[in-house]
Amino acid sequence: MPKAYGKLPKFSYSGGMSAAVRVPAPAEMPSELPETVPALFQRTAQRRGDAPALHFKAGARWTPISWADYSRAVSRVANALLAEGLNPQDRVALWSSNRPEWQIADIGIAHAGLVTVAIYQSDAPEQVRYLVNHSESKVLIVEHRKLLDQVIALRPELPGLQRVILIEGDAPEGEGWVLSWEQALRRGDEFGRGRPGLLASRWQAVRPEDTASLIYTSGTTGLPKAAILTHRNLTWTAVATLQCFRGDPNDRVVSYLPLAHVLERVVSELRQLCTGCEVYFCPSIDQVMAVVAQVRPTYFTSVPRLWEKIYAGIREKMDKVSGPRRMIRDWALLVGALRTAAYEQKKPLAPWVRWQWSLADRLVFRKIRETLGFDKVEVCISGSAAVSPDMLRFFYGLGIEILEGYGLTETTAPATFNRPGDAHFGTVGLPLPGVEVRIASDGEILVKGNNVFEGYFKDPKTTNETLVDGWLKTGDIGVLDKEGYLRITDRKKDLFKTSGGKYVAPGAMETQLRSQRGIAQAVVLGDGRPFVAALFTLERDTAEGKAGPNDPGAKRLVEEAVQRLNRALSHPEQIKKWRILDTDFVVGDELTPSMKVKRKRIAEKYGADIEAIYAEKKPA
């Protein structure tokens, strides 16, 4: 496996642009590993043999699937797809939650020389209709009967779809269009026996520059766009992450973020193909912490929303202690803060702090990590959206280093990452080895590297607007500090101007508000309005959340959070009015599958609440 590389970035300059930051490129980038997904899989599967690869929950027990069985299943699926007469680079859509069959199908699609079209399990039927038709998918693999029934209802509107494969359950009678998973596997066996050597020739003919997957952007505004990711994009990026963080066959990874999202794809599928580690599939997202407590992962990736919930849970339990235990808590938190301060200042721990932190760890912190299931974790990642630096400092004081990174679907997920032992809280770190980052004259972040996608499927106009001379225009605003660390200041499209002419960047404000106890979501408003306002939702498992939006305690909680935020803002930026919604934001409605807020949808759905806020008398 490639070695880690130096931390000092190199700078080069280009007219009209900021310095371009690039971590020293390795002497041998992914050349020592295969550059296509099927070749990488074959290499690892042959080496790992009967070692466990995938784990799924059967009742109360975890059932393993060996690499050898994984490989056989991949071949059966690939042959089943070849039996459909599909040509290289034809598309196969995959509509399912995370489970072994998702990865088996995806790797099987790659072996047949085809392209995976990843569909979020939470997508509505109309969205699926658009994705299947836009991608011209010829086969659709669906998870269960409920999804299948929706597909059958859409059949007249899916003219190019020739086959549906159902993962769970039997195919309905009278629907010859549909094969069950077992029927498809048996068909693959029969086809493979009749055409020996065809599958091997197909996967060996796959080239690094071939399209491996179409991943549709979450679509916070307008129709989703299909990002074209090649085999090289996927394999190169996975190897690049291994130059930032350790990885080996003994790793245990929990797969719970949607595999239709490229971040989870890199974490639990592509990195696994490099290291041969074990992946445990969480049955549902609301069970993730229970699964973590059972599996005790060594490598764990999440979005800020989960870290915020874990943080809130820890603080709530700490707030309930009394008497001598409260004194121990306060002392432990103080020592944790001292440890974090030394880390951020790049200073060695004073001996007395090291000794006291070790004692606090035995009395307090280790128990917290064991209860959570993080006592064996070696790498924790936060991505997809901004996370509060103060929350990262708190976790570091507990002995959990969370490394924040940054990337887009168009960068095959990661473009930058903080490195273990050298994180700069509040930044998203340095570029991956071999990736360049610079800031355009208007503040937009530009990225170049082998992780950058090929363009948007069937959309040359947007492709040419987004990719300029090999540089990806990310749409995000940021700055590079003197050490080359990237700091995201906001989303270019999210910046708004009040009617008074003041530009406001809502993203950082929302991140800080969400980190406050009891607050689930915050959406800052004010585009073209006379003042800045906000909508809030509350954590349902807190007393204030259970009491409802009109509860005095709930109002006091939000008011205090707003006051804390406002103290650090200029008067025009400060939140003057706010309202608590009596609802939760839902993935697929107000939230994208990667937990980003859909601002356009919020404005539509809660228009009456927003107008009521601005109908009130303008505050001073």
Encoded amino acid at 608, one letter: A
SS3 118: strand
CA distance 205 to 303: 37
DSSP letters for 301-342: EE-HHHHHHHHHHHHHHHHT--THHHHHHHHHHHHHHHHHHH
Structure tokens at 616: 């009130």
Ranges of residues in the chain whose predicted pLDDT is under 70:
1-19, 23-31, 218-222, 492, 497, 499-503, 594, 617-620
CA distances 337 to 39, 326, 332, 344, 399, Å, are 47, 16, 9, 11, 11
Return the closest-CA partner of residue 95 out of 132, 136, 58.
132
Contacts of 585 (CB under 8 A, 6+ apart): 520, 521, 537, 591, 597
SS (H, E, C) 456-502: ECCCHHHHHHHEECCEEEEEEEEEECCCCCEEEEEEHHHCEECCCCC
Q: What are phi and psi of 178, to 5 degrees?
A: -110, 135
CATH architecture type of domain 33-206+245-298: 3-Layer(aba) Sandwich (3.40)
SS3 22: strand
User: For 478, left (φ over 0), alpha (ψ -120 to 50), or beta?
Assistant: beta
Q: Do domains 303-375+378-492 and 495-615 have the same CATH topology?
A: no
Q: Homologous superfamily of 303-375+378-492 in CATH?
A: ANL, N-terminal domain (3.40.50.12780)
Q: What's the Rg (C-alpha) of the chain? A: 25
> Do residues 143 and 99 make contact, with C-beta atoms less than 8 angstroms apart?
yes
* pLDDT at site 2: 35
Contacts of 146 (CB under 8 A, 6+ apart): none
**In the 8-state DSSP scheme, what is residue 197?**
T
SS3 567: coil
Return the closest-CA partner of residue 136 out of 38, 37, 214, 84.
214
CA distance 305 to 327: 30
- Domain spans in the chain, listed from the N-terminal domain onward: 33-206+245-298, 303-375+378-492, 495-615
| Residue that has been written with the tokens 């301060």 in this structure | 341
Q: With both helix axes pointing from N to C terminus, report the angle between 100-111 and 67-82 in degrees, rounded to the nearest 10.
A: 60
**In the 8-state DSSP scheme, what is residue 442?**
T
CA distance 183 to 329: 59
Over the stretch 153-172, which tens digit does the pLDDT of each residue have?
Answer: 999 999 999 999 999 999 99
Over the stretch 547-602, which tens digit does the pLDDT of each residue have?
Answer: 888 889 889 999 999 999 888 787 888 999 999 998 888 877 888 776 777 888 88
Q: What letters, b where the CB count within 10 A reaches 16 and e where it falls short, cover 9-27? A: beeeeeeeebbbbbbebbe
Question: For strand 467-468 and strand 413-417, is the pairing parallel, antiparallel, or unpaired?
Answer: unpaired
Structure tokens at 115: 């392209």
> Do residues 122 and 587 make contact, with C-beta atoms less than 8 angstroms apart?
yes
CA distances 13 to 139, 238, 306, 462, Å, are 48, 28, 39, 27
CA distances 370 to 126, 313, 328, 365, 367, Å, are 44, 14, 19, 9, 5
CATH fold of the domain at 495-615:
GMP Synthetase; Chain A, domain 3 (3.30.300)
